[in-house]
């Protein structure tokens, strides 16, 4: 087949196709015409495309352009004809003014936002102020100043999102603690809410980007007793009275360290997927600030002691509102968010 024969054949398909589209008197007939012309397996234009390899290499570009032009023309004609047929088939009637109005989605504050506001209010009553810091952070603030060893796995690419040789998306809001201590001498009590980023798989209890709240208190004579009393008070204020427990743990920036659990409010302690069958839900990690962290921020660790904690508002929102899957918090579903309106 020559290029002229090919182009004539394509032009004939366009001419016949446009005529067939104009003659279609129903949407079903129009759909049959579309299959006849553009069907993937047996459409006329599809059959012609199969003959492209028979053309000379230098002719295929012009042949392909002709096919694309005709395909676009037919698709436009099909769309216009469909709109016309649908409009003609629609019944003409006056609106029924007695019908009830459509429900208007109101939406509401996101449950994580509600949790952050409530947590912030509780700690403000205890004398904490709000502090913030950059999300694109220097590696020293995110790891080095927090006593992470140079070979710690959290510093690897499979855990942390690096933006450059020494810059990354912060993996926690702990760098705010160091920056605050560099600017303000103790006594210091801060709460640092913000978004953090990790290379986590998106599942029922983890997300690659999530909110975090960290707190810190530094002063003379502060002890683990103060930490435990403060966090127990918070848990009972927030959850309205709940069983709590502290479990020994390890964090590079605190020593000793502990994780705090509350009774799972989703299953009432009987065990469910959200609490992994334990009946307890971890809500935060905590501990006495490591002397190396205080020294890195320019604080005399012989004179001052401090404690810190970090919690995930999303996990706490799951507990508060009985949300079984953290992915629901990322769907932006107005019907879901409306449930949290007042």
Contacts of the segment 76-80: beta carbons below 8 A, 24+ positions apart:
77/17, 77/18, 77/21, 77/22, 78/21, 78/30, 78/33, 78/34
Superfamily of domain 111-338: Bira Bifunctional Protein; Domain 2 (3.30.930.10)
* Predicted local distance difference test score (pLDDT) of residue 132: 93
Q: What is the pLDDT along the chain (342 residues), one digit of tens a residue?
A: 677 887 888 888 888 888 988 988 888 888 888 888 888 777 888 888 888 788 887 888 888 888 888 888 888 998 898 888 888 776 666 667 787 877 776 667 888 898 999 999 999 999 999 999 999 999 999 999 998 988 777 767 678 899 988 899 999 999 999 999 999 999 999 999 999 998 876 665 567 888 999 999 999 999 999 999 999 999 999 988 788 899 999 999 999 999 999 888 777 778 887 678 888 888 899 999 999 999 999 999 999 999 999 998 888 888 788 787 778 888 777 777 777 765
* Predicted local distance difference test score (pLDDT) of residue 330: 80
* Predicted local distance difference test score (pLDDT) of residue 341: 67
* Predicted local distance difference test score (pLDDT) of residue 311: 93
Enter the pTM of the model. Answer: 0.64
* Predicted local distance difference test score (pLDDT) of residue 91: 63
Domain range list for the chain: 3-89, 111-338
Query: Phi and psi for 289 in degrees, rounded to 5?
Result: -65, 135
* Predicted local distance difference test score (pLDDT) of residue 136: 95
């Amino acid at each position: 087949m020559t290029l002229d024969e090919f182009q004539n054949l394509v032009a004939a398909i366009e001419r016949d196709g446009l005529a067939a589209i104009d003659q279609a008197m129903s949407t079903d007939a129009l759909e049959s015409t579309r299959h006849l012309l553009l069907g993937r397996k047996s459409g006329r234009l599809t059959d012609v495309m199969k003959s492209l390899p028979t053309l000379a290499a230098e002719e295929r570009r012009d042949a392909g352009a002709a096919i694309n032009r005709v395909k676009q023309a037919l698709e436009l004609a099909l769309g216009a004809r469909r709109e016309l047929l649908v409009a003609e088939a629609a019944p003409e009637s006056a609106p029924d003014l007695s019908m009830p109005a459509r429900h208007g989605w109101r939406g509401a504050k996101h449950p994580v936002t509600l949790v952050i506001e409530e947590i912030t209010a509780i700690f403000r009553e205890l004398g904490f102020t709000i502090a913030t810091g950059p999300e694109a952070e220097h590696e020293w603030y995110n790891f080095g100043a927090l006593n992470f060893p140079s070979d710690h796995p959290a510093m690897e690419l499979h855990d942390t999102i690096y933006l450059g040789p020494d810059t990354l998306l912060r993996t926690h809001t702990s760098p705010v603690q160091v920056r605050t201590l560099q600017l303000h001498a103790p006594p210091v009590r801060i709460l640092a809410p913000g978004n953090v980023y990790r290379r986590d798989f998106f599942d029922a209890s983890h997300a690659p980007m999530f909110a975090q709240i960290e707190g810190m208190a530094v002063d003379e004579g502060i002890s683990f007793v103060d930490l435990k009393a403060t966090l127990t008070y918070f848990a009972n204020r927030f959850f309205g009275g709940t069983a709590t427990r502290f479990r020994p743990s390890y964090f590079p920036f605190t020593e000793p360290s502990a994780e705090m659990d509350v009774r799972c409010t989703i299953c009432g302690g009987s065990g469910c997927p959200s609490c992994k069958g334990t009946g307890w839900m971890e809500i935060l990690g905590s501990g006495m600030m490591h002397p190396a962290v205080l020294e890195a921020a320019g604080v005399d660790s012989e004179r001052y002691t401090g404690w810190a904690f970090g919690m995930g508002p999303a996990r706490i929102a799951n507990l508060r509102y009985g949300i079984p899957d953290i992915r629901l918090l990322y769907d932006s579903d107005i019907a879901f968010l409306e449930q949290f309106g007042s």
